[in-house]
Structure 1
């Protein structure tokens, strides 16, 4: 029986890192936050006082091994530009005797993306999972295992960034791809943190598996309906065709523009018939002990953060 007590979070100061640190700490793991030496991201003052913080040169295998020594698990939250360092991090984790490595997957389920344009863009993520599978298959690292985790779009971050590419609160308009009825799954940052903690609380059940969890599963039209209900405002609707977005995305990809990925991500979730939703029954939420959450409540929190004026009646009803 595997026991995980100490956990290092690699990339602890990025968009997701602080939520992982907090959730692992809340689950009573001993947490070490590993930050990149000379990082432009300051160490969050919100880290619990008993979280150890280490500044490490990510390009040094020796420094990574030293940082991982004494850790039962390493959870990677490195951003897209740094995905390539994970191969060296895996080798360092194996050398340090780490029992579990969770790569920086989260978002799109890369198992579904293999052979697609999205998969080509996320090739580094796919390579890392394949490398982990190979390490375990070789049998040269006894006691070592991995878990991949897809969680869909980062919901609260995506809301604050651009309304998930669907809702424009300032202009009171919604941009809907195709019919708008295709469901897609999303997760709050805190949900992702709890899912990772759940994986490590159930190490034997989750070993060498690729899991998918979510806190919400809805369509563009369902999201729009909730926003309109809570704001008491009718939004103007703009319809876009998925094939047009794909064409523009390919043009931008050919031109080397990073924003191309946003176009493909939108069609990945919104194209009619694409089938990238995830119901609670289909998910691995039960396995890691994390339930789905109330979409209306999460949208309300976003509207309040944005100062969008949740209507008095709906605000009262949402708490009843």
Structure 2
């Protein structure tokens, strides 16, 4: 295995935990970076280092002897990826692969868009890694776009479904296919990337890939929910993507970054959005990594307690 020692920055969060668990299960030696003074509990089977993400000296010492970095730093602190990346690509660094915190929609497509304004720090970081890899043949990066966090989104309401009120918000016709992945599936993808890294089978070096548990429509998901809750009537609220986009852009222009969720909903669900990956494309991440698609009904049943 060309990669053995892996750092996960943000490895105790909602996504960081399943990623860390997948890496441990895959046989990697995993070190979780936590902030100085953090009391969070890392997943079993890992070691922990507290770091100051703003300190080059702190990061340099913590990254010594590591082979790869997986950043799962959240959007609100995404600027802290920059010092981490700079240390990872510096002369003398042992880091061979860097996976930035791209989990979510494909930021390579968001440049010069309203939602891209919010995600601009991610875009710049991938630009930086691309330039670094062009100068250093011993270093590579892999961007992984997973679309909506499906299982997490069900619980936190970002998919427009409310199990308590039995309400579903459907954008436009509800027939647009969208990009979604369950959190453990993302963990499997990260482990698969690092298993390949540095081997003759490496298919993701210096590439930005899209993975997906599935690419359903809103109407398909609603139909599945209705089938799982026989006898329960669901109220459907229809939303217009153009109106939602206009309102979100107006609020964003005033510095209101809480508009991310409506912008994300329009990006994914609007008729004609076209952001679901083509599963037949040879460059589709699932194909490159040997990942099998999942059944959304499994996550829906778990969410509904069925």
Q: TM-score range by the shorter chain?
A: over 0.9
The residue correspondences of 1:88-107 to structure 2 (distance < 5 A) are 88-95=83-90, 96-107=93-104
Deviation sequence 1:120-167 (CA, Å, 0-9, x none) = 211000000000011122x2x3411100010001111111101x3321
Shift of 1:224: 0.5
**Counterpart for residue 220 of structure 1:** 218
Cα distance in 1 between the residues matched to 2:184 and 2:168: 26
**Counterpart for residue 140 of structure 2:** 145
**Counterpart for residue 194 of structure 2:** 200
**The residue matched to 1:184 in structure 2 has which SS?**
coil
Q: Give the 3 Å change call, closer, same or farther, for CA 75–81 of structure 1 in structure 2.
A: same
**Counterpart for residue 286 of structure 2:** 285
**TM-score, with structure 2 as normaliser:** 0.93
> 1:174 and 2:173 equivalent?
no
The residue correspondences of 1:120-131 to structure 2 (distance < 5 A) are 120-131=117-128
Shift of 1:279: 4.3
**TM-score, with structure 1 as normaliser:** 0.89
**The residue matched to 1:217 in structure 2 has which SS?**
coil
**Counterpart for residue 294 of structure 1:** 295
Shift of 1:195: 0.2
**Counterpart for residue 46 of structure 2:** 51
Higher mean C-alpha displacement, 9-18 vs 24-33 = 9-18
Shift of 1:254: 2.4
Asked whether the equivalents of residues 89 and 132 of structure 2 are also in contact (C-alpha less than 8 Å), the reply is no
Q: Give the 3 Å change call, closer, same or farther, for CA 194–248 of structure 1 in structure 2.
A: same
Cα distance in 2 between the residues matched to 1:294 and 1:211: 21
Shift of 1:94: 2.2
Asked whether the equivalents of residues 8 and 31 of structure 2 are also in contact (C-alpha less than 8 Å), the reply is yes
Cα distance in 2 between the residues matched to 1:165 and 1:201: 32
User: Which aligned segments of 4 or more residues in structure 1 are displaced greater than 3 angstroms?
Assistant: none
Q: 2:115 aligns with which of 110, 115, 118?
A: 118
Cα distance in 2 between the residues matched to 1:236 and 1:80: 32
**Contiguous gaps of at least 5 residues in structure 2:** none
RMSD: 1.4
Deviation sequence 1:52-101 (CA, Å, 0-9, x none) = 11111111111111111111100000011221121211121123220000
Shift of 1:256: 2.1
**The residue matched to 1:216 in structure 2 has which SS?**
coil
Deviation sequence 1:176-200 (CA, Å, 0-9, x none) = 1100000101111100110000001
Cα distance in 2 between the residues matched to 1:52 and 1:255: 43
**Counterpart for residue 29 of structure 1:** 28
Asked whether the equivalents of residues 106 and 151 of structure 1 are also in contact (C-alpha less than 8 Å), the reply is yes
**Counterpart for residue 251 of structure 1:** 250
Asked whether the equivalents of residues 118 and 257 of structure 2 are also in contact (C-alpha less than 8 Å), the reply is no
Deviation sequence 1:186-238 (CA, Å, 0-9, x none) = 11110011000000111132110001001121011111000000011231111
**The residue matched to 1:206 in structure 2 has which SS?**
coil
Deviation sequence 1:280-304 (CA, Å, 0-9, x none) = 3233112112211011111101111
**Contiguous gaps of at least 5 residues in structure 1:** 305-309, 311-320
Higher mean C-alpha displacement, 295-304 vs 88-97 = 88-97
Cα distance in 2 between the residues matched to 1:105 and 1:176: 26
